[in-house]
Structure 1
Amino acid sequence: MSNEPNAASRHEDGPRELLATVTALRRRARAARHAYWLPLLLFGLLMAAAAPLYVESQAPPAVRATIANPPLTGLGGDLLERSAALGWYWLVALIGGYLLSLAWYRWHARRVGVQTSTRAYLVAGIAGTLVALVLPLVLSFLLRNTATGVSEATRWLTSPLLGVAGRGMLPHLVIALGFAVLAHLERSRVLWAVVVVYAAALLLVNLYFHTADLGPGDVNRHTYMLAALLPAPILVAGGAVALLVTRNTAKRAE
């Protein structure tokens, strides 16, 4: 009779131990699957590397006429002096960055045995890049050729977007789109937090330019560079934090 309680206790502990083991394995698999820290660092560094192309040779006027550049330079910003070089840089950097991210995730999956499907992330990045290439041309066409009533009704959207495009910050929006898709795929609160902070920084920067009454002395050689560079530390810091969180989670799950 004295052994019956012990037998019942062992019988109850069995399912509990099994549940704890399954939970630990699931937590370990989720931690091993997360690999978004490298794309965050990659795009943050690509953004920082583009900074010299945003620097003007002299203080520009507050409002500059758009520069007639080839269509493929739409990513570079028609208000910028080096828009052609900047546009080609971002075309290569965005496509290359998304392809490198895909290769990284595949290598990471082979190493840890758990994979996050990143096809939607790649599609969003490439599609966003292609849209950003033609968007300035479409917006300019609409403003020039649309009936006055329709043009006034849509100016609240077309004008800010043209400002973003003119300052060469459409690539930043493409990067935000890609990371929003990746955060959904990874189901990561940390990555969503980075995306929200990054998007808020983009919004504040471009809202400032859209609403501020800038005079000739308010825009200097480094104004556009500082605006374009401001979101970069958010991605770099987010990548560093994500790496630490991923490693700590993996250790706790062991």
Structure 2
Amino acid sequence: MTAPNTAGLLDELDRLRRRTRIARRGHWLPLTAIGLLTLGAIPFYRPFDDSCTPDASGCALPDRGTSFTVPGLGRVDPLGVFNAGNIFPLANPLALGVYWVLALLAGLVLTVWWYRRRAVSAGLETSTGAYVKVTVGGLAVVLGIALAGGLLPDLRGFRVTDSGTEESVLKAALFLAVPVTLAILSERDLARTRGFRAVVVVGFLVTSVLGATVVNKTGGLMLFAAGLLVLAWLERSRWCALVALGYTGFTLLANASTMGTLFYALAWRPDGRLDVLFSAKDVLLPGCVALVGGLVALALSRLRR
């Protein structure tokens, strides 16, 4: 075969590979779903109205939070990574914590179902193994953060809110990078070795301990961000990667408790102490980024047909 013919064949193979990769992409639905699920948390950020009295009509006693006592550990709060640290006390932190757990599981089930459905209809399958691992493993980590904090109470003195913004963002980024990297590597042949399994166990422990000092109220956003980063790698999509990075960036800012400063800089002031939207400010920008990103991805997929 002559050199020109070989070059032409290679070019055709490259074009076929690109068309196949584009045809199997279906990230518009996971992006849209994650955006909607993120914004769906807004009503649960309703602040507690401490101006009313318990005997007033329609007024409830303040919620005591979601912590409970574990013998030998003291008070632990597994749902605190979803509901603690907000500027205003929440009317029902338990509802918010439960919502995030259910939202993460709903996003996981929908994503897996969607890609399996596409595999049947299009004949092209995108593996969701890494996405499942980072979501399930990450959920175990963030729920285990409370236990890590109970076993190592000195960690409470190194909370992310005690650090500067840049340091807080870097610590939270490291917390995200470990599970995302392990999930991606799990799709390689390396995952079959004993050494990698030991690394996974160590990584689980490290991220749990690191999370006890880093994650501040944004456990749900963190796990969605990790899932989006893994999804961008699975899809090899620049647009999905851009959306994932945008979602992650706003999540890191929210975790560092700087979202309020950002909105104040944009001249948005809360409409009274009970402004639900301002109370839910941490989820607004990440949710909008994912939702808009999903709709744009849907439009692009239609145009390519």
| TM-score (norm: length of structure 1) | 0.74
Give the counterpart of 1:220 among 273, 293, 304: 273
Question: Offset at 1:179?
Answer: 0.9
2:253 maps to 1:243: no
- Report the residue type matching 1:118 in the other structure: T
Give the counterpart of 2:286 among 227, 231, 239: 231
Distance 1:158 1:106 in 2: 44
What secondary structure sits across from 1:231 in the alignment?
A: helix
Matched residue, 2:237: 188
Question: Offset at 1:135?
Answer: 1.5
What secondary structure sits across from 1:233 in the alignment?
A: helix
Q: What CA RMSD, in Å, does the superposition of the two structures yield over aligned residues? A: 3.5
User: Which one is further off, 27-36 or 17-26?
Assistant: 17-26
Matched residue, 1:204: 253
Question: Offset at 1:166?
Answer: 5.5
Question: Offset at 1:183?
Answer: 1.1
- Native 8 Å contact 1:179 1:195 kept in 2: yes
Could you say which structure has the greater relative contact order, defined with CA pairs below 8 angstroms and 6 or more residues apart?
Answer: 1
2:69 maps to 1:73: no
Question: Offset at 1:119?
Answer: 0.7
Alignment of structure 1 residues 166-185 onto 2, 5 Å: 167=217, 169-185=218-234
Q: Which structure has the bigger radius of gyration?
A: 1
Distance 1:244 1:207 in 2: 34
Question: Offset at 1:107?
Answer: 0.4
- Native 8 Å contact 1:75 1:170 kept in 2: yes
Alignment of structure 1 residues 18-33 onto 2, 5 Å: 18-19=9-10, 21-33=12-24
Distance 1:155 1:224 in 2: 21
Alignment of structure 1 residues 85-124 onto 2, 5 Å: 85-124=95-134
Deviations 1:74-124 (Å, cap 9, x if unpaired)? 454135331111111121221121011001001011111111111111111
- Native 8 Å contact 2:32 2:294 kept in 1: yes
- Native 8 Å contact 2:134 2:227 kept in 1: yes
In structure 2, stretches of 5+ residues that fail to align are 52-62, 69-76, 169-210, 262-268
In proportion to residue count, which structure has more helix? 1
- Native 8 Å contact 2:216 2:255 kept in 1: no
Matched residue, 1:7: none
- Native 8 Å contact 1:139 1:158 kept in 2: no
Question: Offset at 1:151?
Answer: 6.2
Distance 2:119 2:159 in 1: 46
Question: Offset at 1:178?
Answer: 0.8
Distance 2:241 2:116 in 1: 22
User: Which one is further off, 175-184 or 75-84?
Assistant: 75-84
- Native 8 Å contact 2:159 2:213 kept in 1: no
- Report the residue type matching 1:206 in the other structure: N
What secondary structure sits across from 1:58 in the alignment?
A: coil
Alpha carbons of structure 1 residues 205 and 84: separation in structure 2 relative to 1, 3 Å: same
